[in-house]
């Protein structure tokens, strides 16, 4: 089971690495009819359990060009295809079928044994993202084509899977249970294949965002100042303030290990959280890193209220997959060495002159 | 007293100033958490020797009311055996989540984020987190490392009942343990602007002959000390847990 989970996650990780990112910001105004509640401190009340699960992705499919809104027909097609895939995935599996008989393609980029989870185990959302009711083709709204801008000349992303399997440190942060896959914790906070749940809690001087994967808590210091000691904590260094109904969060000091599509050293992410309905929080984001991109990236989506509470995601404590991967790599090496040894022995035997003692 | 939502406001960064995480029972300083027989007196286990004085255990008055934990005879034998195999058994060594009540008196601080309706505890150690529920959630749907916390106010005291914890966590580094049937009833009371009196009653018939209680003070961190740091220790134990599986294990 662990191995199956891992395969699915790896595929997701690879996809995230290839497309990663972020966002931006648009400035949609909150619907005038809704007045966001205040909490006991007189701050905009953002507390609750929220999810950003969505069929909409960070980047826009090229077929939509500069169009950020989807038509009704396009929504029906996207959501219909997902529902069909889910129904097929939920169909009983013939117990006689082997992993080698698995369908070549099973959706979301997975195939064969990499099909991983049954659909019951994943929760990527079943609807496209709607912002102020408008169905969206991507989270990104800037650049206008909804796609990440090219990296500046000379910027090279480190290979993601170099020396994979050689040491635990060569594995991804998520496989090591250090952070989530993709950018679940953020910032920028982006949905994944599953566990797209967050809890927001507010005190007078702190906002805590609990991230289901991997039970990370991002603490935002209201009225605080960025650290200047050169240290770069996980998830960066977040400070915040309130602007009317909106919580504004500014994050800098990102570590290289959690680079956002190559951006970390000079990266500044600005997020805006605005409650736009009893069960909706508008999330807008903007990321700037002049050393990586020639232009900001920005985008938006809406969190919706999660129906349940967040359960514990104790990743490390059950991470049999990492041990399995490393053990598997060592087994592969041993098998390869044995095969090479046998081949060498055969070659030697074939090349050796025929000798023997004739009986006189 | 600062209040929010009509209740005492516990928001802030807190930590103990005791040695309960080493041993919740009264104890003198000793050479190491795991000892082996020596020619004269017990000496540190081989793996601890290199740490010298850093590997020793500081003394403490203990936090168990009455001094001794009322173990059953069988459970006491297991606790003593845990001490003999400390390095391989203490979940803290492997950076596992700490459980309750241990999370509250580890050497690292934790932050309470409280509003009129929310009470969240974020721990520096391993990024552990607890969300106190104020509507009865019923039985925990499944055991977990940090369990399920259900809170209610009794005057100015927050009473939190913690159930649904698995049996993998310990109370301290001295081998004190519990079963998955343990129920913890915590009582959190602000005794000044900067101090909390913390009590926890432990009920676990599978392990103890009767319920017992621990109590201690928690202190508010002020100024530059009041910023929770991160202690994601998972990466710190990879050599311990996976070092033998490296392509080229270290000598």
Q: What are the pLDDT digits (tens) for B170-181?
A: 999 999 999 999
CA separation (Å) from A89 to A46, A107, A116, A260, A328? Answer: 36, 10, 11, 32, 28
Q: Vertex A283, ends A279 and A285: CA angle to 5°?
A: 180
Smallest CA–CA distance from A318 into chain B, residue: B96
Tell me, what's the pLDDT at A18? Answer: 29
Q: Is A257 on the interface with B (CB under 8 A)?
A: no
Contacts of B137 in chain A (CB under 8 A): 309
Calpha distance B25→B18 (Å, rounded): 12
Assess whether the previous peptide bond of A188 is cis (omega < 30° from 0): yes
Contact B205, B71 (CB under 8 A): no
Tell me, what's the pLDDT at A357? Answer: 54
Contacts of A168 in chain B (CB under 8 A): 238, 242, 245-246
Calpha distance A138→A141 (Å, rounded): 7
| Closest by Cβ to A234, choosing from B4, B228, B230 | B230
pTM above 0.80, yes or no: yes
Tell me, what's the pLDDT at A352? Answer: 82
Contact A25, A142 (CB under 8 A): yes
Return per-residue pLDDT of chain A as tens, 360 residues.
Answer: 233 332 233 333 333 332 333 233 344 455 568 999 999 999 999 999 999 999 999 999 999 999 999 999 999 999 999 999 888 888 887 888 777 777 667 777 777 777 767 788 888 999 999 999 999 999 999 999 999 999 999 998 888 788 999 999 999 999 999 999 889 999 999 999 999 999 999 999 999 999 999 999 999 999 999 999 999 999 999 999 999 999 999 999 999 999 999 999 999 999 999 999 999 999 999 999 999 999 999 999 999 999 888 999 999 999 999 999 999 999 999 999 999 999 999 998 888 876 655 554
Reported as a single tens digit per residue, the pLDDT across B68-127 is: 999 999 999 999 999 999 999 999 999 999 999 999 999 899 999 999 999 999 999 999
User: In 3-state terms, what secondary structure has residue B110?
Assistant: strand
Tell me, what's the pLDDT at A32? Answer: 60
Tell me, what's the pLDDT at B152? Answer: 98
Angle subtended by helix axes A320-351 and A2-19, to nearest 10: 90
Q: Write the CB contacts of B68 (distance below 8 Å, at least 6 apart in sequence).
A: B25
**Chain B interface residues facing chain A, Cβ-Cβ under 8 Å?**
4-5, 9, 11, 95-97, 111-118, 120, 122, 126-129, 131, 133, 137, 141-142, 144-146, 168, 227-230, 232, 234-235, 238, 241-242, 245-247
| Pick among A40, A221, A253, A336 to test the B interface (most B CBs inside 10 A) | A40
* Ranges of chain B whose pLDDT falls below 50: none
| Closest by Cβ to A316, choosing from B115, B228, B234 | B234
What is the DSSP pairing of strand A237-243 with strand A216-222?
parallel
For chain A, how far is it from start to end, CA to CA, in angstroms?
Answer: 67
Calpha distance B40→B25 (Å, rounded): 26
Calpha distance B33→B42 (Å, rounded): 11
Reported as a single tens digit per residue, the pLDDT across A85-137 is: 888 888 887 888 777 777 667 777 777 777 767 788 888 999 999 999 999 99
* Helix H or strand E segment including A276: strand A268-277
Q: Is the Cβ pair A217, B129 closer than 8 Å?
A: yes
ipTM over 0.85: yes
């Amino acid at each position: 089971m662990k191995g199956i989970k891992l395969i699915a996650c790896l595929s997701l990780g690879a996809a995230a690495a290839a497309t990663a990112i972020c966002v931006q910001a648009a400035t949609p105004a909150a619907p005038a009819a809704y007045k966001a509640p205040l909490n006991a401190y007189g701050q905009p009340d953002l507390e609750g359990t929220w999810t950003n699960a969505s069929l909409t992705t960070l980047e826009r499919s090229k077929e939509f060009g500069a169009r950020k809104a989807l038509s009704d027909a396009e929504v029906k097609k996207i959501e219909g295809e997902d529902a069909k895939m889910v129904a097929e995935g939920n169909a009983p599996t013939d117990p006689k079928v082997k992993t080698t008989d698995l369908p070549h393609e099973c959706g979301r980029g997975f195939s064969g044994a990499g099909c991983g989870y049954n659909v019951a185990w994943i929760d990527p959302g079943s609807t496209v993202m709607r912002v102020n009711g408008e169905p969206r083709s991507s989270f990104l709204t800037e650049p206008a084509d909804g796609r990440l801008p090219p990296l500046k000349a000379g910027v090279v992303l480190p290979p993601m899977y170099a020396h994979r399997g050689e040491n635990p440190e060569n594995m991804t942060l998520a496989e090591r249970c250090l952070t989530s896959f993709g950018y679940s914790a953020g910032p920028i906070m982006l949905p994944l294949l599953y566990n797209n749940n967050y809890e927001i809690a507010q005190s007078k001087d702190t906002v805590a965002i609990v991230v289901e994967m991997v039970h990370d808590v991002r603490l935002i210091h209201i009225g605080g100042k960025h650290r200047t000691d050169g240290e770069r904590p996980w998830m960066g260094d977040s400070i915040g303030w309130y602007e009317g109904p909106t919580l504004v969060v500014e994050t800098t000091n990102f570590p290289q290990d959690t680079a956002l599509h190559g951006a970390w050293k000079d990266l500044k992410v600005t997020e805006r959280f605005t409650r736009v309905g009893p069960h909706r929080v508008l999330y807008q984001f903007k990321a700037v890193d002049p050393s990586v991109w020639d232009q900001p990236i920005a985008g938006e989506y809406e969190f919706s209220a999660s129906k349940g509470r967040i359960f514990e995601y104790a990743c490390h404590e059950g991470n049999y997959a990492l041990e399995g991967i490393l053990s598997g790599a060592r087994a592969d090496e041993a098998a390869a060495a044995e095969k090479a040894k046998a081949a060498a022995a055969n070659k030697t035997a074939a090349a050796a002159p025929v000798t023997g003692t004739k009986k006189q | 007293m600062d209040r929010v939502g009509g209740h005492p406001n516990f928001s802030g960064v807190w930590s103990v100033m005791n040695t309960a995480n080493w041993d919740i029972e009264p104890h003198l300083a000793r050479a190491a958490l795991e000892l082996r027989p020596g020619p004269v007196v017990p000496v540190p286990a081989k793996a601890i020797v290199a740490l010298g004085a850093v590997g020793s255990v500081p003394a403490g008055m203990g936090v168990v009311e009455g001094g001794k934990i009322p173990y059953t005879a069988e459970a006491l034998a297991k606790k003593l055996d845990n001490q003999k195999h400390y390095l391989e058994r203490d979940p803290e060594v492997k950076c596992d989540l700490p459980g309750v009540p241990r999370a509250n008196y580890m050497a690292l601080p934790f932050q309470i984020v409280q509003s009129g309706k929310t009470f969240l505890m974020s721990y520096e150690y391993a990024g552990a987190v607890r969300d106190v529920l104020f509507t009865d959630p019923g039985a925990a749907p499944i055991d977990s490392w940090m369990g399920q916390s259900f809170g209610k106010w009794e005057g100015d005291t927050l009473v939190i009942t913690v159930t649904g914890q698995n049996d993998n966590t310990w109370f301290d580094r001295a081998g004190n343990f519990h079963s998955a049937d343990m129920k913890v009833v915590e009582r959190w009371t602000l005794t000044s602007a900067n101090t909390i009196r913390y009590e926890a009653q432990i009920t676990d018939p599978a392990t103890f002959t009767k319920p017992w209680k621990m109590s201690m003070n928690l202190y508010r961190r002020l100024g530059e000390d009041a910023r929770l740091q991160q202690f994601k220790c998972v990466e710190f134990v990879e050599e311990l847990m996976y070092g033998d599986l490296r392509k080229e294990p270290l000598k």
